[in-house]
Amino acid sequence: MGQSTIRLTMAQALVRYLCSQFTEIDGARVPLFAGVFGIFGHGNVTCLSEALEAVQDRLPTWRGQNEQSMALAAIAFAKAKRRRQIMVATSSIGPGALNMVTAAGTAHANRLPVLLIAGDTFNNRLPDPVLQQVEHFNNPTTTVNDAFKAVTRYWDRITHPAQIIQSLPQAIAAMLDPADCGPAFIGLPQDTQEIAFDYPEVFFEERVWAIPRPRADRDALAKAIAALKAAKKPLIIAGGGVRYSGAENAVADFAAARGIPVVETIAGKGGLTHFHPVHCGPIGIVGSTSANALAAEADVILAIGTRLQDFTTGSWTAFSPAAQFISINAARFDAIKHRAIAVVGDALETVTELDAGLADWRAPAALLPHAKALFAEWNALLDSHQAITNAPIPSYAQVIGVMNKTAKPNDTLIGAAGGTPGEITKGWRVKDPNTFDCEFGFSCMGYEIAAGWGHAMAKGGEGTPIVMLGDGTYMMMNSDIYSTVLTGHKMIVVVCDNGGYAVISRLQQFKGVPGFNNLLKDCRITDKANPLHVDFVKHAESMGALARHCESLADLENALNWAQTTDRTTVISITSDAYAWVPGDADWDVGVPEVSTRDSVNAARESQIAIRAKQRVGV
């Protein structure tokens, strides 16, 4: 007796399968795929949209304004859900698909799941070349969708309707694997989508997916325990993997019981609240003086759930060359970096086993009080930079201080590019766990407003996303202000207008190059003395948002309090200082010309050589 089958088009079968997948969050059974962001065109409108329209009560489809931004919103949703629930983003053929490549890179760099589905050219090639097809003269199987291969964890092109039976479970497994987590891409040729096939009914049975928690190797764990027991000045670096594992409390309790200070990466910020007894600040190039001082002193560094990016390590100048790393990570690739004792496993399970293995061992009693004293000095420095003054133009730090004061504990702060990441990583004092999202794995300009939409969906009204960005990023991608007004997903957007790309101008000039093509006044424009500034209030209002411009920090506080009471997305703009920054004390390795006619560049080159001399050499 054969299997029972159901005859569906490939597109219908794909959608039916997505609707049959579930997961559990805090004990509640929920759909694994919470919805679809879609912009339809030829390649996904005639077949895939037909299938999605029929299930919109179970798998809601939201129309984006730009393929890149809707995929970024999907990424932020997954981040807010701590990788436990996934959104789909679908586009048409050609430019629509390619617009999502940047978002795929953002998800890949940040190890975040999103399912990207794009139309593709005809598998039978009979009508070739079709509209928007990019032809490769020596390889007719290549389409623009091959561009996704460099920025996805799983990639497939469905050339026969039966292939989704094998492909879709593999795509989901890749997105949910803590070690391989990242975006999955499925290309759907137009003619394959339309074909009907007798699918086995068992393919559509409901399935509840669980995220695996791999245990560490016993020998590796024993080596880690021995190294910690020998440590005099241990330090914990908590990365994003701590949050995705749900290990925040376990790490905090472990650190408190063992007397070890905890510093955080940009992705890890928000796992602990700012004033938690073991929290000692963010580490690295945009980190705190307290965390960086502890890193320089540490003899054993327990790195949990971090890929040790250069902004965390100060381009590997932040640590003693003799320091021993212990790296707890679900991904082997990350765990073995820099001669670490690699403990490959889930953060929650591994920290629990590490704690049991340490028995009654504690770090020297003076270590944590010393760390908290350094952190107190850092907080005093923040206070001095965030203090209200009579300066005619407020600094980022002052704006952040007012925003922090008026934010509710469960509001989520969002940033990504420009001067914002450094300033919010240093200056935002997290009130509730998991209320901070600074996308700095890719530092993708344009993430911020789209991410606000994704966070608003994920939060479901429990707190408001607060997006902070500069004028440059606002100009790059702002259309999801309109999306949030249309869909009723409120956020607060604070635009700091500092006249261009101020932070990259800062780096440019710091390395000896005169200001050039970054600040508006340094660009090729008609009136350098009086460059035109955008009226962000009128622009936001034209998209249906409420908006207000602020002339002072007092105005800003009033506007932020007002924004908490509004019924829709609210945009607030304020002129900010392009030259005032909270100081940092970590080094960064960037390319500086080896030969130049400028004395300023030659001096910067010598400084860069000195930085590289301090780098810890990995293997």
pLDDT score of 3: 87
For 390, list phi and psi in degrees, rounded to 5.
-95, 15
Closest by alpha carbon to 324, among 234, 220, 255? 234
**pLDDT value at position 511?**
92
Lowest mean pLDDT among 31-40, 160-169, 459-468, 522-531: 522-531
Domains of the chain, each with CATH number or no CATH: 5-209 (3.40.50.970), 218-374 (3.40.50.1220), 387-575 (3.40.50.970)
pLDDT of residue 602: 93
Mean pLDDT across the chain, nearest whole number?
96
460 CB-near residues (< 8 Å, 6+ apart): none
What is the length of the chain? 619
Please write the tens of the pLDDT for every residue from 43-74.
999 999 999 999 999 999 999 999 999 999 99
Instruction: State the SS3 of 260-321.
Output: CCEEECCCCCCCCCCCCCCEEEECCCCCCHHHHHHHHHCCEEEEECCCCCHHHHCCCCCCCC
For residue 53, what are the CA distances in angstroms to 14, 48, 61? Answer: 13, 9, 8
pLDDT at position 615 over 80: yes
Burial class (CB in 10 A: 0-12, 13-18, 19+), 564: middle
Q: Give the per-residue pLDDT at 150.
A: 98
> Which pLDDT band, with edges at 50, 70 and 90, does 619 fall under?
low
Q: Taking residues 600-610, what's their average pLDDT?
A: 93
Q: What is the pLDDT of residues 163-207, one digit of tens each?
A: 999 999 999 999 999 999 999 999 999 999 999 999 999 999 999
359: part of which helix (H) or strand (E)?
none
* DSSP state letter for 249: H
CA separation, residue 34 to residues 68, 83, 271, 481 (Å): 19, 12, 24, 21
Alpha helices in 63-100 (DSSP H): 67-80, 95-98
Q: So what's the pLDDT on residue 532?
A: 85
SS3 content of the chain, % helix, strand, coil (to 5): 40, 20, 40
DSSP element (H, E) containing 549: strand 546-550
CA atoms within 13 A on the CB side of 37: 35
**Average of pLDDT values for 382-387?**
96
Taking CA atoms, 420 is separated from 126, 253, 387, 467, in Å, by 51, 31, 18, 10
Average pLDDT score over residue span 553-562:
97
Handedness of CA 281, 284, 288, 294 (dihedral sign): positive
Q: How far apart are CA 570 and CA 261, in angstroms?
A: 39
Residue with tokens 């490549």: 101
Ordered DSSP codes for 474-505: HHHS-THHHHHHHHT---EEEEEE-SB-HHHH
Tell me the sheet residues that pair with 497: 575
How far, in Å, CA of 130 to CA of 230, rounded?
67
Q: What global pTM score does this model have?
A: 0.96
Strand order in the sheet with 28-31: 28-31, 21-25, 207-209
Taking the C-alpha atoms of residue 50 and residue 125, their distance in angstroms, rounded to an integer, is 23
Q: Please report the pLDDT score of residue 484 as a whole number.
A: 98
pLDDT at 533 over 90: no
- Residues with Cβ within 8 Å of residue 393, at least 6 apart in sequence: 575, 576, 577
How many C-beta neighbours within 10 Å does residue 75 have? 27
Closest CA to 304 of 368, 353, 257: 353
Q: Is it the case that residue 1 has pLDDT exceeding 60?
A: no
